[in-house]
Structure 1
Amino acid sequence: MCRAVDLHQSVLARNDESAQHLRARLTARGTTMVNLLSSPGSGKTALLEHELTLARARSVPVAALTADLATDNDAARLARSGAPVKQILTDGLCHLEAGMLARHLDGWLTASPRLLFVENVGNLVCPATYDLGETLRVVLASVTEGEDKPLKYPTAFGLAHLVVVTKTDMATAADFDESAFRAHVEQVNPGVEVLLTSVRDGTGLGTLLDRALSAADAGTAPHTPVMAGHPHPHAGHGHDGHTHAGHDGAPAAALS
């Protein structure tokens, strides 16, 4: 059992080193990465498509990578924005890792976007402890998922720089208690901003883009999570029981 924990911690340590290298290379190119995490069906693809479209309308150089276990459906949807988009198929892996991401970025973009959005695999467990080299980590939850989502997934919400609520046009039908949700977010991540959005009625559209641009200008996230000093608080519990040691090797040398 101890060996399994040690191996998982080693995987996370290698990932962190890769993330640091990738973050430095992106910074040198003037690119800010935004990592989007959520459960499946939260509406993050629909929201991201609108933000990419708006960025293009504002002449903001943007690009996006989207990760799934199978299909390129999300990439096809995001490409409608006109932004450069690439699909990553994880071959069954439930999250992205920094080395994997760097390899997909290497040689892909001839020009450096100001913002690089990464739509992580739909999952609030596996991706939570993996730094990708992002400047801004955004966790999304729809009103249909319940107000206790932050309490059920404290690592994901506790490490967020920004929390986005989606599908607010359905809040009444879903009997969504916004005050309770905000209180639960505050419990696991005091001070983090919560944005309300709806692709259907336009609520909050463009705010995510604005926050990403502000982070790009400042070179840092707008909020420091209380868990920031403990990037892998659940590492000792073996995560989801998988080590995935073969997916992330030495620090990535991409984007040089």
Structure 2
Amino acid sequence: MCTTCGCGEGNLYIEGDEHNPHSAFRSAPFAPAARPKMKITGIKAPEFTPSQTEEGDLHYGHGEAGTHAPGMSQRRMLEVEIDVLDKNNRLAERNRARFAARKQLVLNLVSSPGSGKTTLLTETLMRLKDSVPCAVIEGDQQTVNDAARIRATGTPAIQVNTGKGCHLDAQMIADAAPRLPLDDNGILFIENVGNLVCPASFDLGEKHKVAVLSVTEGEDKPLKYPHMFAAASLMLLNKVDLLPYLNFDVEKCIACAREVNPEIEIILISATSGEGMDQWLNWLETQRCA
């Protein structure tokens, strides 16, 4: 996961902070949480070497930490991961309690860059705007482009720029959500940074993760990024209007997704043609009323 990739070293910017010069840019909140010291046991050795297949392929994810970073032992990686996720998870539970108190449905939209999730989200908001109160938190490393696209639909939105950060975290949501005018029983869409790795590990306080996968990406994407699809409740197989022009096996993709998550729901959808939009809106209404 990204606790060793330097994503806590960048600057966080949330729209509106420019009015407060002391908080406009601040380090992402990855300080270790105060708690009793935990003891990690079972680490075989500080040295780490990747496993190899007969063909010579290298696998760096077989160690106790499940990943690798130059100059950092498996033990230290686990210590950092525990510190970061421990604090984040407690913040996420506070977020979840606040959202539940107002009966707000909160969804964490995750995907790789270019999956079409912003276009899909804008079409969703256009269809919901006369019936369901909605708001959006947009996550990107830089620019406010996506938040501007959302606001063009008439929906309140706030941009969170993560700087070097490759995902949103629970503190960012705690900072951004109160700035949005969202009624009780509404839907808060959180569009995460385009990344199928790190957002899988960070609970934001959402009710569901919704993974958006485009048919232009390849059928085996769920197997390549299993943690994300295992964490998702729903997969939106997007841009299906392009299927006549692609060599994409829908059934194989569905099988790959269910191999890592047998319970995942799947909707074939296109914001361009409208296919699957009614099914998606029905799913949203079911979750909102649950």
Same fold, TM-score > 0.5, yes or no: yes
- 1:6 counterpart residue number: 79
Q: 1:23 aligns with which of 79, 86, 96?
A: 96
Q: 2:171 aligns with which of 59, 82, 99?
A: 99
- 1:143 counterpart residue number: 215
> Residue 67 of structure 1 aligns to which amino acid in structure 2?
G
> Residue 205 of structure 2 aligns to which amino acid in structure 1?
G
User: How far is the alpha carbon of 1:4 from its aligned partner?
Assistant: 2.8
Cα distance in 2, alignment partners of residues 113 and 81 from structure 1 = 20
Cα distance in 2, alignment partners of residues 107 and 171 from structure 1 = 40
Cα distance in 2, alignment partners of residues 102 and 88 from structure 1 = 12
Cα distance in 2, alignment partners of residues 208 and 158 from structure 1 = 20
Structure 2 gaps, min length 5: 1-72
- 2:254 counterpart residue number: 182
Cα distance in 1, alignment partners of residues 185 and 137 from structure 2 = 12
1:171 partnered with 2:218: no
User: How far is the alpha carbon of 1:113 from its aligned partner?
Assistant: 5.7
State the SS of the aligned residue for 1:51. helix
Of the structure 1 ranges 145-154 and 84-93, higher mean CA displacement relative to structure 2 is found in 84-93
Cα distance in 2, alignment partners of residues 113 and 84 from structure 1 = 15
- 1:253 counterpart residue number: none
Which whole-Å deviations, capped at 9, do the CAs of 1:56-81 have from their partners, x for residues lacking one?
A: 13x21111111000111111111122
Aligned-CA RMSD value = 1.3
Cα distance in 1, alignment partners of residues 88 and 154 from structure 2 = 31
Give the count of matched residue pairs.
217
- 2:145 counterpart residue number: 73
Cα distance in 2, alignment partners of residues 209 and 118 from structure 1 = 16
- 2:111 counterpart residue number: 38
- Tell me the TM-score normalized by structure 2: 0.72
Pair 210,173 (structure 1): closer, same or farther in 2 beyond 3 Å: same
Structure 1 gaps, min length 5: 219-256
User: How far is the alpha carbon of 1:213 from its aligned partner?
Assistant: 2.2
> Residue 240 of structure 2 aligns to which amino acid in structure 1?
T
Q: 1:56 aligns with which of 129, 143, 153?
A: 129
State the SS of the aligned residue for 1:106. helix
User: How far is the alpha carbon of 1:110 from its aligned partner?
Assistant: 6.4
- 1:196 counterpart residue number: 268
- Based on CA coordinates, which of the two structures has the bigger radius of gyration? 2
Contact 1:63–1:85 at 8 Å: present in 2 too? Answer: yes
User: How far is the alpha carbon of 1:38 from its aligned partner?
Assistant: 0.2
> Residue 87 of structure 2 aligns to which amino acid in structure 1?
R
The structure showing larger relative contact order (alpha-carbon pairs under 8 Å, at least 6 residues apart) is: 1
User: How far is the alpha carbon of 1:191 from its aligned partner?
Assistant: 2.8
User: How far is the alpha carbon of 1:150 from its aligned partner?
Assistant: 0.4
Contact 1:54–1:206 at 8 Å: present in 2 too? Answer: no
> Residue 144 of structure 1 aligns to which amino acid in structure 2?
T
- Tell me the TM-score normalized by structure 1: 0.82
Pair 78,167 (structure 1): closer, same or farther in 2 beyond 3 Å: same
- 2:156 counterpart residue number: 84
Of the structure 1 ranges 191-200 and 205-214, higher mean CA displacement relative to structure 2 is found in 205-214
State the SS of the aligned residue for 1:155. helix
Of the structure 1 ranges 170-179 and 154-163, higher mean CA displacement relative to structure 2 is found in 170-179
Which whole-Å deviations, capped at 9, do the CAs of 1:9-61 have from their partners, x for residues lacking one?
A: 1101111111111000011012110110000000000000011111113x211
